[in-house]
Structure 1
Amino acid sequence: MQVNVKKLDENAVLPTYGSTNAAGADLYACIDAPLTIAPHETVMVHTGLAMEIPEGYAGLVYARSGLAAKRHLAPANKVGVVDSDYRGEFMVALHNHSNEPQTIEPKERIAQLVITPYIVGDFAVVDELEETERGAGGFGSTGR
């Protein structure tokens, strides 16, 4: 699937896939100098890119597993959702979950983008819902 990308900064790096079957494409920091994120701080990191996510799809911005596990850096909103009608710059609200400052280098991989189809629900008010074995059981109700 072709995804049209507009470079907003000449130093921006196009998303890349780390392997043939990778679901997420790496997003890169488009910054002029190293950026230090203080402990428990969130910083908006530029990618320098705007994209045209195809209609019927969404771009989901996830943490890079190595960056999150080893350096405790992950998107502040856990999963960013980019709608197909958004045409602004893709930015990552990168949060430092550690007690130590963490530094992002220019052109470092900071998150991953997964493009996925979605369904728009047609919400309807009803008097009753279909019965299920679980019913209204909430958190932990299935014993797992």
Structure 2
Amino acid sequence: MSAPDLEVQFTRLHPDVEPPVYAHPGDAGADLRCREPFTLGPGERRLVGTGLAIALPEGYAAFVHPRSGLATRFGVTVVNAPGTVDAGYRGEICVCLLNTDAQHPVAFAAGDRIAQLVVQQVSRVRFVAADALPDSVRGFGGHGSTGGILGG
């Protein structure tokens, strides 16, 4: 049995923009679209407006993720992925896009899908200083500690 849908209010900051929508049942991310046409040159980054603002309830945050198709086909990604939209933020959701292709520009039309918005419940924590941390199975193993291409 699935949980009931969380209601999130939104407002259009520009009259023609579409609200975030899920492309398929069960999708985690709702599509965000750009509000105006633009071109990203090779290696260029740009803050792109969606024309939308949302009001998340306390205890939730929204995370702006790259679209896998844009990354695969054109090398376009979200620079600060995932970008964080806090519950108290009421301004326009903007997406910092980067064209990682070294040779080809990528053109976008108004209304093109540029990112995905994932809403998640988040916890506030109280950080407590400690002289030492409890042991764990992983311990101090960090970047590359489980192997892979270069780590065996």
Query: TM-score range with shorter-chain normalisation?
Result: over 0.9
> Which residue number in structure 2 is paired with residue 15 of structure 1?
20
Instruction: Tell me if 1:81 matches 2:84.
Output: yes
TM-score, L = length of structure 1? 0.93
| CA shift for structure 1 position 78 | 1.9
After TM superposition, give the deviation of residue 53 of structure 1 in Å. Answer: 1.4
Which amino acid in structure 2 is aligned with residue 70 of structure 1?
Answer: R
| Structure 1 position 74, deviation (Å) | 1.3
Identity rate of aligned residues, in percent? 41
Deviation at 1:132, TM superposition (A): 2.0
Amino acid at match of 1:52: A
Could you tell me which residue of structure 2 aligns to residue 47 of structure 1?
50
Q: Give the gaps of 5 or more residues in structure 2.
A: 1-5
Aligned residues: 142
What is the deviation of 1:63? 0.5
| 1:118 aligned partner, one-letter code | V
Q: After superposition, where does 1:100-139 map in structure 2 within 5 Å? A: 100-139=104-143
Amino acid paired to 1:73: V
Q: Secondary structure at the match of 1:130?
A: coil
**Structure 1: gaps of 5 or more residues:** none
Decide whether the 8 Å contact of 1:134 with 1:142 is kept in 2: no
1:143 Cα shift? 4.2
- 3-state secondary structure, aligned to 1:122: coil
> What TM-score does the superposition give when structure 2 sets the normalisation length?
0.88
Distance 2:145 2:27 in 1: 34
Between Structure 1 and Structure 2, the one with more strand by share is 1
Q: Which aligned runs of 4 or more in structure 1 are off by greater than 4 angstroms?
A: none
Bigger Cα displacement from structure 2, 109-118 vs 127-136: 127-136
